[in-house]
Structure 1
Amino acid sequence: MPSTVSANPLHLVAVTGGTHGNEMSGVCLVKHWLRDSSELVRDTFTAVPLLANPKATENCVRYYERDLNRCFTMDILSSPELQDEPYEVKRAREINRLFGLRGSTNAFDMILDLHNTTSNMGVCLIISEAQRHLEMHVCHHIQKHLPNYNPRIYLYAEPGVELYDLCSVSKYGIGFELGPQPQGVVRADTLQTMRTLVQVTLDFINQLNQGKEFPAFEADVYQRVGHVDFPRAPDGEISAVVHPSLQDRDFSPLHPGEPAFLSLDGKMIPYNGDQQIYPVFINEAAYYEKKIAFIVAEKIRLSIPALCTTGGQGSP
């Protein structure tokens, strides 16, 4: 790994909310910025706000016909449009065109996508993979400047799985996942935290554009490696719920044999894996339909090289 990587200045930046229409912090902030975008203006660029899924937002639902944040695969983006295809498939192509086409030189430099979760994730910074050094530097910058928020870095892409989220349209992207917050509800404290995250990130981009160099660092990340479903009866119905001792303990270690579920007849069901894991998105409301009780992550310590603007060594 090089001691320093370089990046071109970032000028095309978008802030998206309402990718899931009932995650209200991003919805409210983006609607505000569409009326008055002065908060998004910096010396070297101006970020563009976008309400990603207007139909879902209007109906205050996660999605209208299909989860928009799973619609940005190359297969979907490159396939011909059909009249009767889901609204979110059409919307994904619109966003892809708006932001310059995924993988092209004209693609936006960065997207900040704003999300809420019903899980106790606190402040979670989501990127696709650890090799995204510029994104890792943004996350580290947030951790340094907002230590009271205890931000964690979550890598959502499993090896060999194609990227599918809205952020994959741009050259770089970060999802801000804040919780717990109920679906369809906005909490002032959560909204203000999200607002601060956006401001600190835009400040980082501005400093990078102005030539500031950022030193190497080490950081812990949580890498997704799979998921665990609820125990189910033969008819497919849920037969046990998340155990009280696991509930709200996102990012905490879970060892084999420790309580994971509580059956509806009152029996403890242990985690039956063969090694320690770090559950995240525990009991996320939107994941019931995906048959996910929690995401399985492993905790990894990474060394990230220094970052400078174009002219340094290597590439991000």
Structure 2
Amino acid sequence: MEPVSLPALPRVAFCGGTHGNELSGVYLVRQWQKKKKLEAESVGVTTVMSNLRAVQQCRRYVEKDLNRCFTTATLSTPVSGETPYEVVRAQELNALLGPKGSDGAMDLICDLHNTTANTGLCLISNSGSDWICLHIYKYLQMKMSSVPVRFLSTSVPSPEAYTLASVGKHSLMMEIGPQPHGLVRADILSAMEEGVQLMLEWIQLFNSGTEFEGGVVEVHTFVRNIDYPRDSETHDITGVIHPQLQDRDFCLLHPGDPLFLLFSGETERYGGEEPLYALFVNESAYYEKGTALTLARRKRVEIPPLRVKRD
């Protein structure tokens, strides 16, 4: 493939506390802000504590999930005294890091998250063909040994993309787990910090003129979510993730494989027509969203050699 030239990334933001009880990002941002900045040559780095009230209360959110508040429609909603705090905060963050879709937006936003699921380090992008994000993924996969590194594409057009990271010209969420919400684990914290440092290392190399080889990477693409089995009248769940599936994020789920262990003792099996990959299995924050796990396809994507575009 012919090399692709893309503009440098002089302005990058790392955000923590978008969910106030996901503490690896919270503690890293606090640490960076005490030092006044996150060091990086050729890169202006902004660190942001996203949901201040939720962080103070160690809750996912106060009134509304902040990481669902960055659609173009929500960002343009008139604010009144009745507006949920997270919508107001989303508009403040959009002014600070964007505006979304503008030339003045951050070149890259990486939003730091934890999950209770056994995902290792998962980079999430709303695009499956952003060569910057895919090259960062390839670099982390090559350099990191402490945790597996994977990539999930949600393929959501920018105006409808609802995440904080989508405000940037290039957007990544770094999900790392397993870590219970409301506490911080040393191994997970260290892996997240290593991932951030390697991301910055790649950006510095890219900005300085290093040409990165192309190659093939494996990308997971979102298919659908599956809810827990529920009582038709009360809507209470009637089963939990089957022990054979628990903690096996990114395993290939075949038709007929155990999916849920019902409270009656019976096993409910996966009834899909094709094998798909299971991820975010039994994420505790998704109970309220009616999601027991996410299903994805995995494909091999050829990425071109990449270099910085010179004026």
TM-score range, shorter chain: over 0.9
Counterpart Cα distance in 2 of 1:277 and 1:248: 16
Residue correspondence of structure 1 range 99-110 to structure 2 within 5 A: 99-110=97-108
Q: Which residue of 2 aligns with 1:283?
A: 282
Alignment of 1:288-307 (within 5 A): 288-307=287-306
**Other-structure match for 2:168:** 170
| Equivalent pair of 2:71/2:159 in contact (CA under 8 Å) | no
State yes or no: 1:78 paired with 2:40.
Answer: no
The aligned amino acid for 1:30 is V
**Whole-angstrom distance in 1 between the partners of 2:109 and 2:184:** 22
Asked if the contact 1:158/1:225 (under 8 Å) is kept, the reply is: no
Q: Which secondary structure does the structure 1 equivalent of 2:253 belong to?
A: coil
CA contact (8 A) 2:128 2:155 kept: no
Amino acid at match of 2:150: R
Match of 1:20 in 2: 19
- The alpha-carbon distance between structure 1 residues 60 and 148, as it changes in their structure 2 partners (threshold 3 A), is closer
Distance 1:13 1:279 in 2: 31
Amino acid at match of 2:246: Q
Point out 4+ residue stretches in structure 1 off by more than 4 angstroms.
Answer: 158-161
Contact 1:278 1:299 in 2 (8 A): yes
Partner of 1:231: 229
Deviation of 1:82 after TM superposition, in Å, equals 2.2
Where do 1:7-156 residues align within 5 Å? Answer: 7-38=6-37, 40-156=38-154
Per the normalisation by structure 2, the TM-score is 0.96
Aligned residues: 310
The percentage of counterpart residues that share the same residue type is 42
Note the C-alpha offset of 1:46. Answer: 3.0
Whole-angstrom distance in 2 between the partners of 1:274 and 1:162: 29
The code of the aligned residue for 1:143 comes to Q
**3-state SS, counterpart of residue 6 of structure 1:** strand
- For 2:241, the equivalent position in structure 1 comes to 242
Aligned amino acid, residue 268 of structure 1? T
Letter in 2 for 1:279: A
- State the shift of 1:96 in Å: 0.4
| Unaligned residue ranges in structure 1 (runs of 5+) | none
Judged with a 3 Å threshold, the aligned counterparts in structure 2 of structure 1 residues 33 and 160 are, in CA distance, closer, same or farther, namely closer
Using the alignment, how far apart are the partners of 1:199 and 1:141 within structure 2?
12
CA distance in 2, matches of 1:68, 1:160: 17
Q: Which amino acid aligns with 1:238?
A: I
Contact kept in structure 2, 1:127 and 1:174, CA below 8 Å: yes
SS in 1 for 2:112: strand
Could you tell me which residue of structure 1 aligns to residue 257 of structure 2? 258
Deviations 1:261-316 (A, max 9, x none): 0110100000011110101000000000000000111111111111111149xxxx
Measure the CA separation in 2 of the matches of 1:270 and 1:160: 36
Classify the secondary structure of the residue corresponding to 2:184.
coil
Per-residue deviation at 1:3? Answer: 2.2
Residues 271 and 244 of structure 1: CA distance in aligned 2, closer, same or farther (over 3 Å) = same
For 2:8 and 2:252, how far apart are their aligned partners in 1?
A: 39
Q: Post-superposition shift, 1:6?
A: 1.5
CA distance in 1, matches of 2:4, 2:177: 33
1:271 aligns with 2:242: no
Residue 100 of structure 1 deviates from its aligned partner by 2.7
Aligned residues of 1:158 and 1:224 also touching (Cα < 8 A): no
Provide the rounded CA distance (Å) in 1 between the counterparts of 2:272 and 2:171: 32
Equivalent residue, structure 2, for 1:213: 211
Question: In 1, Cα distance between the equivalents of 2:281 and 2:267?
Answer: 17
- Alignment partners' CA distance in 2, 1:65 and 1:160: 24
Cα drift, residue 159 of structure 1: 7.5
1:206, distance to aligned residue in structure 2 (A)? 0.7
Deviation at 1:10, TM superposition (A): 1.0
Asked if structure 1 preserves the Cα contact closer than 8 Å seen for 2:69 and 2:87, the reply is: yes
Q: Residues of 2 paired with 1:149 and 1:213: CA distance?
A: 26
Q: How far apart, in 2, do the equivalents of 1:100 and 1:239 lie?
A: 44
RMSD between aligned residues: 1.5
Partner SS, residue 81 of structure 2: coil
CA–CA separation in structure 2 for the residues paired with 1:273 and 1:159: 27
Q: CA deviation at 1:158?
A: 5.2
Specify the SS of the correspondent of 2:251: coil
Other structure's SS at 1:91 match: helix
CA 159–228 in structure 1, closer or farther in 2 if over 3 Å, else same: farther
